[in-house]
Structure 1
Amino acid sequence: MSESTPPDLGTTGKPPIVGRVLIGVLIFQLGLAVLLFWGDLGEGLRLPGFGPQAPELTEPIRPGDQTRRFRPERAPSPGQPMPETALPDRLVLTPVSGGRAALLEGAIEAGDAERIVKQLSELTPPPEELYLNSPGGSVRDALELGRHLRREGFHTALRDGDICYSACPYLLAAGETRTVPDSASVGVHQHYFGKSTLLPAFVAIEDIQRGQGEVMRYLDDMGIDPLVMQHALVTPPDEIYVLLPEELRRYGFIPEVE
């Protein structure tokens, strides 16, 4: 029996050109996956330590100086010292004001929309007002919960000194009426919409564009000017753009002062 013949590598001893191309594509995809994975960890594909850093979130904001460093697990209330305890790591619903209202605070995690909708339906009497205090989180859950809040006719509000960042403004937008005191803080930044970082670039971009389209349609449905997204799209995930009271009025979050 003759021995098997090794593949013909040509006179140079190198793999055929098609094989080299496929190997090159594989290496490119692996490198791209690493970059996307790194970006998904929250660094926005930026090298740490390069370029000017935004001020800390505790620094007062002023027109034209509204971008601050943002770490959700340590998000303080505006103008106040860092809290001794962080907000809950997922949404917590607590009846307040004798049951006429409820406080929804903590990070928005995957699955929170379904869980909070169920909890709201079990409250007796059902609350009419929902106070928010959240550093944000899952965009999809915020949109799903927000549509439920609008169907049920909730009023949404922030209390003095509370925050509503990242995906939380979509819950704020869901209120038929909305209240934001000047001492509270509402902020936006870039989101990640993809399901997996181990994807070709065109798939990741498609997910991002689809997600942005869903958010803009949602804001329009809620009566919010989608132009507020211009601030979100240019603010990296590790920073937050804090909206001024006049911007909250301009984009429709709160009524104009008469």
Structure 2
Amino acid sequence: MLRRFWWSPLLLCVGLLACNPADKGKPVVAADPAAALAADGDHMVSINAADAPPPPPPVKPARDKAWPEVTLENGKAWVSCDTDYTGEVGDGAALEALDRKTLDAALEPCRERGLVRVRYAGKINPSFAAMVSRLAVVADALKIGKRVLDLDSSGGQVEAAIVAGDSIGEAGWTIWVREGSICHSACVFVLAAGDNRLISGKVGIHRMMRISSTATSRAELNKELHEVYDNVKDYLQRNGVAVGVADLMMTVPNRSLRVLTREELKQYGLDGTNAVQDDLERIKQMRKCGDDFVRRKDAFLIAFDRQCKVEGADLEAVTNCGQALKEHFGFPDETCPDESPLSEIDTALLEMPVEAAPLPGVAPAAATLEPRRGGL
């Protein structure tokens, strides 16, 4: 159960060959830089372009065309059609493979409800990037519009995080770091890409490490990293995140971790609504839903930030407050229900009695909403 809505590594290296006498005498195989993620601990790594595996191919084939084989490495995923993870279903069914047939079968139960939650625990790597891209293709085909990526990751590869983030940014995902989960290192780039970010766990950053670096001096290493950080800053800007995040990363040693506070998450644009996506949605909603809808939604979001997202409030209290505010501002809107604020909560609370909690300046409802525990 989520209890607190907080916004807020010593690296252990084990030489396996040295510990196993049976391996003595075996030839030593040179490390594959592209495969270094399997043992990178809590590092954030960047790989040289020449060593990088090719990005996942575009996955927009017809239903009868096969996808290239991809195996999910250094991570596990589960699929649920519910935001509640404390009941019998928990995190849902384990995702056994990333082929089209398996993904179709995994997401099909979510078609009627129109909501899917994907729990991912593991490293950010090329197979994770392929997974989120393919899930979006299947969700589009099944017309599943509400998508929640329930994330728990200590980090991984910068380039893979950016590929995954660009896919996420085109596919309408809410990123959820629930209580007890973490989003550290390269995971922060994935977090940045969400249309909305719900953070109860810890978000942390540090400096990246370059795989296959040829640097012999600080100046050479800085030159190598300069191009990578330029790409990172461009990525952060297109996702509405302050480039100061990248500058701050540079100051934190790779084996350390700087946990961002709630205030820093808001300051850097990592908390709540993605600013760039918000601008894009405003343009679209102005055309589809009209000026009055956009003005009411703006007023709601301002009130929601001020009245509901208070320090120490648990997620249930935030949900109660948001539901009461939505009623006060006339949401969900009959003309544009899917564009209404917090529409993913409307979906999560289907078939539940919704009774708003009192708010300052708002007429109190008869009782208090009781959302399912452990859910969004």
Q: Normalising to structure 2: TM-score of the pair?
A: 0.42
Which residue of structure 2 aligns with residue 25 of structure 1?
Answer: none
What does residue range 94-173 of structure 1 map to in structure 2 within 5 Å? 94-98=78-82, 99=110, 100=115, 101-122=117-138, 126=144, 128-173=147-192
CA distance in 2, matches of 1:74, 1:138: 11
The answer as to whether partners of 1:143 and 1:218 remain within 8 angstroms in 2 is yes
Q: Match of 1:91?
A: 75
Unaligned runs of 5+ in 2: 1-7, 13-39, 44-71, 83-109, 273-301, 307-376
Query: SS in structure 1 opposite 2:134?
Result: helix
Gaps of 5+ in 1: 1-65, 76-87
Give the direction of change, closer, same or farther, for the CA distance of 1:133–1:125 in structure 2 (3 Å limit).
farther
The answer for the alignment partner of 2:263 in structure 1 is: 246
What does the per-residue CA deviation read over 1:48-77, in whole Å, with 9 as the maximum and x for residues that have no partner? xxxxxxxxxxxxxxxxxx9x64567489xx
Q: TM-score, normalised by structure 1?
A: 0.60
1:221 aligns to what? 238
Whether the 8 Å CA contact 1:108–1:134 is kept in 2: the answer is yes
Looking at structure 1, the residues matched to 216 and 241 of structure 2 have their Cα atoms a distance apart, in angstroms, of: 33
* RMSD of aligned Cα (Å): 2.9
Structure-1 separation of matches of 2:185 and 2:81: 27
CA contact (8 A) 2:150 2:178 kept: yes
Answer yes or no: is the 8 Å Cα contact 1:109–1:141 preserved in 2.
yes
Contact 1:153–1:175 under 8 Å retained in 2: yes
Matched, 1:197 2:213: yes
- Alignment check: 8 A CA contact 1:70 1:240 kept: no
Task: Go from structure 1 to structure 2 and tell me whether the alpha carbon gap of 1:171 and 1:216 turns closer, same or farther (over 3 Å shift).
Answer: same
**Amino acid corresponding to residue 244 of structure 2 in structure 1:** L
Residue aligning to 1:28: none
Amino acid at match of 2:130: E
Equivalent residues of 2:73, 2:127 under 8 A apart? no
Which amino acid in structure 2 is aligned with residue 186 of structure 1? V
**What secondary structure, in the 3-state scheme, does the structure 1 residue paired with 2:213 have?**
coil
Amino acid at match of 2:213: T
How many angstroms apart in 2 are the aligned matches of 1:125 and 1:104? 22
**Letter aligned with residue 231 of structure 2:** E
- Bigger Rg over Cα: 1
Deviation of the 1:114 alpha carbon: 2.5
1:18: which partner in 2? none
3-state secondary structure, aligned to 1:112:
helix
Q: Secondary structure at the match of 1:128?
A: strand
Aligned match of 1:58 = none
Shift, 1:122, TM fit: 3.6
Taking only the aligned residue pairs, the percentage that are identical comes to 23
After superposition, the C-alpha distances for 1:72-131 in whole angstroms (9 at most, x for unaligned) are 7489xxxxxxxxxxxx96233321244421112201234431244224434556451111
